[in-house]
Amino acid sequence: MKLELKGIRDRGNKASERIVMRALSRIDIGQFVILDAGYSDDGVNNDVRSSYWFPDQVIEKNDWVVLYTKAGNYKEKVQKSGSNALFFYWHKPEAMWGGKSRTPVLMEVDSWDFVEPSEPGEKP
């Protein structure tokens, strides 16, 4: 995977809880999704409550990607090392990662498809 999940900082703290990731190569972060997945003694399961799909944006190797649980506006900051830190916000009303039953899962999405929305009874 070209984006490394480094960890969760300030678990359970609504004001500062965040997932921290680092780019291992030049990537389009729009190819990555974080899932709010279930977790038990058996490991990760498919009880997915929500997801965050990053917007299309090319970032460079060693750039940091930070996803806050709280509401906020996208920001970028140049680090002393010269790499960028990109801050995204999930806009959740409460902290998500304070217990042992939920875990973030990072997925790389190489291709996808969709069905165009329509009103009930309309022909697609």
CATH classification of 3-108, choosing from 2.10.25, 3.90.320, 2.60.40, 2.40.50? 2.60.40
The pLDDT score that the predictor gives to residue 76 is 97
CA dihedral in degrees (25, 76, 54, 104; nearest 10)? 80
The pLDDT score that the predictor gives to residue 121 is 80
The beta-strand segments (E) located in 24-121 are 27-28, 32-40, 43-44, 50-53, 58-59, 64-68, 75-78, 84-89, 102-108
Q: What are the tokens at 97? A: 């990662």
Q: Note whether 9 and 20 are within 8 A (CB).
A: yes
Query: What pTM value is reported for the model?
Result: 0.92
pLDDT tens for the chain, residues 1 to 124: 899 999 999 999 999 999 999 999 999 999 999 999 999 988 999 999 999 999 999 999 999 999 999 999 999 999 999 999 999 999 999 999 999 999 999 999 999 999 888 888 877 6
The pLDDT score that the predictor gives to residue 124 is 61
5: closest CA among 21, 17, 19? 21
Kindly tell me the number of DSSP H helices and DSSP E strands found in the chain: 0, 11
C-alpha distances (whole Å) from 105 to each of 37, 100, 118 are 7, 14, 31
